[in-house]
Amino acid sequence: QVQLVESGGGLVQAGGSLRLSCAASLLTFNTNTIGWFRQAPGKDREPVATVNWAGTPSYADSVKGRFTISRDSAKKTVSLQMNSLKPEDTAIYYCAVARRPYAPIRGIDSAYWGQGTHVAVSS
Protein backbone atom coordinates (compact mmCIF):
# COMPACT_ATOMS: atom_id res chain seq x y z
CA GLN A 1 0.00 0.00 0.00
CA VAL A 2 1.50 3.30 -1.11
CA GLN A 3 1.12 6.16 1.33
CA LEU A 4 1.51 9.83 0.51
CA VAL A 5 1.68 12.26 3.41
CA GLU A 6 1.27 15.94 2.62
CA SER A 7 2.08 18.95 4.74
CA GLY A 8 2.41 22.70 4.43
CA GLY A 9 -1.03 24.01 3.57
CA GLY A 10 -2.61 26.97 5.31
CA LEU A 11 -4.00 30.47 5.01
CA VAL A 12 -1.97 33.23 3.38
CA GLN A 13 -2.61 36.68 2.01
CA ALA A 14 -2.46 37.36 -1.70
CA GLY A 15 1.12 37.82 -2.81
CA GLY A 16 2.42 35.53 -0.09
CA SER A 17 4.16 32.17 -0.29
CA LEU A 18 3.62 28.63 0.91
CA ARG A 19 5.60 25.45 0.51
CA LEU A 20 3.89 22.07 0.25
CA SER A 21 5.72 18.83 0.88
CA CYS A 22 4.80 15.21 0.24
CA ALA A 23 6.55 12.11 1.51
CA ALA A 24 5.96 8.89 -0.44
CA SER A 25 6.34 5.30 0.68
CA LEU A 26 7.05 3.95 -2.79
CA LEU A 27 9.97 1.69 -3.57
CA THR A 28 10.02 2.72 -7.24
CA PHE A 29 9.92 6.43 -6.49
CA ASN A 30 12.67 7.26 -8.98
CA THR A 31 10.82 5.75 -11.93
CA ASN A 32 7.39 7.25 -11.32
CA THR A 33 5.90 10.59 -12.25
CA ILE A 34 4.95 12.54 -9.13
CA GLY A 35 3.23 15.84 -8.71
CA TRP A 36 0.56 18.11 -7.35
CA PHE A 37 -3.05 18.54 -8.34
CA ARG A 38 -5.72 20.80 -6.90
CA GLN A 39 -9.47 20.96 -6.62
CA ALA A 40 -11.37 24.12 -5.88
CA PRO A 41 -15.00 24.02 -4.67
CA GLY A 42 -17.33 23.16 -7.50
CA LYS A 43 -14.51 22.47 -9.93
CA ASP A 44 -12.77 19.40 -11.30
CA ARG A 45 -9.41 18.30 -10.04
CA GLU A 46 -6.68 19.79 -12.21
CA PRO A 47 -2.94 19.30 -12.54
CA VAL A 48 -0.74 21.99 -11.05
CA ALA A 49 2.79 20.67 -11.51
CA THR A 50 4.39 17.30 -12.12
CA VAL A 51 7.88 15.98 -12.53
CA ASN A 52 8.53 12.78 -14.44
CA TRP A 53 11.05 9.98 -14.04
CA ALA A 54 13.64 11.99 -16.00
CA GLY A 55 13.25 14.98 -13.70
CA THR A 56 11.41 17.04 -16.31
CA PRO A 57 8.86 19.38 -14.73
CA SER A 58 5.54 20.38 -16.22
CA TYR A 59 3.37 23.26 -15.02
CA ALA A 60 -0.15 24.46 -15.57
CA ASP A 61 -0.17 27.75 -17.45
CA SER A 62 -1.85 29.45 -14.51
CA VAL A 63 1.10 28.78 -12.19
CA LYS A 64 4.09 29.11 -14.51
CA GLY A 65 6.63 31.51 -13.14
CA ARG A 66 5.09 31.39 -9.67
CA PHE A 67 5.29 27.75 -8.58
CA THR A 68 8.31 25.45 -8.55
CA ILE A 69 8.19 21.69 -8.13
CA SER A 70 11.16 19.70 -6.90
CA ARG A 71 11.76 16.09 -6.01
CA ASP A 72 14.30 14.57 -3.67
CA SER A 73 14.81 10.98 -4.70
CA ALA A 74 16.93 10.11 -1.68
CA LYS A 75 14.23 11.27 0.73
CA LYS A 76 11.35 10.22 -1.55
CA THR A 77 9.73 13.61 -1.24
CA VAL A 78 8.27 16.13 -3.64
CA SER A 79 7.78 19.77 -2.80
CA LEU A 80 5.86 22.64 -4.32
CA GLN A 81 7.08 26.15 -3.66
CA MET A 82 4.23 28.55 -4.30
CA ASN A 83 5.03 32.24 -4.61
CA SER A 84 2.91 35.26 -5.53
CA LEU A 85 -0.20 33.41 -4.48
CA LYS A 86 -3.55 34.59 -5.75
CA PRO A 87 -7.08 34.06 -4.39
CA GLU A 88 -7.77 31.81 -7.37
CA ASP A 89 -5.09 29.43 -6.08
CA THR A 90 -7.39 28.56 -3.19
CA ALA A 91 -8.09 24.82 -3.31
CA ILE A 92 -7.33 21.48 -1.77
CA TYR A 93 -3.93 20.38 -3.05
CA TYR A 94 -3.27 16.69 -3.58
CA CYS A 95 0.02 14.91 -3.97
CA ALA A 96 -0.07 12.09 -6.52
CA VAL A 97 2.33 9.47 -7.81
CA ALA A 98 1.75 7.42 -10.93
CA ARG A 99 0.83 3.80 -10.35
CA ARG A 100 3.02 2.61 -13.21
CA PRO A 101 6.67 3.48 -13.74
CA TYR A 102 7.63 5.53 -16.78
CA ALA A 103 4.04 6.66 -17.22
CA PRO A 104 2.27 10.00 -16.86
CA ILE A 105 -0.58 10.70 -14.48
CA ARG A 106 -3.79 10.66 -16.55
CA GLY A 107 -6.85 10.63 -14.40
CA ILE A 108 -7.74 9.47 -10.93
CA ASP A 109 -7.16 5.78 -11.54
CA SER A 110 -3.65 6.21 -12.87
CA ALA A 111 -2.18 7.43 -9.57
CA TYR A 112 -1.99 7.00 -5.85
CA TRP A 113 -3.29 10.04 -3.99
CA GLY A 114 -2.61 11.77 -0.72
CA GLN A 115 -5.36 12.95 1.60
CA GLY A 116 -5.04 16.57 0.46
CA THR A 117 -4.00 19.77 2.16
CA HIS A 118 -6.00 22.98 2.10
CA VAL A 119 -4.53 26.18 0.71
CA ALA A 120 -6.53 29.37 1.19
CA VAL A 121 -5.42 32.73 -0.23
CA SER A 122 -7.19 35.82 0.98
CA SER A 123 -7.44 39.00 -1.05
Instruction: State which residues of the chain have pLDDT below 70.
Output: none
Q: Which helix (H) or strand (E) holds 116?
A: none
pLDDT value of position 63: 98
What is the radius of gyration, based on Cα positions, of the chain? 13
Say how many residues make up the chain.
Answer: 123
pLDDT value of position 2: 85
Q: C-alpha distances in angstroms, 42 versus 5, 20, 39, 91?
A: 24, 23, 8, 10
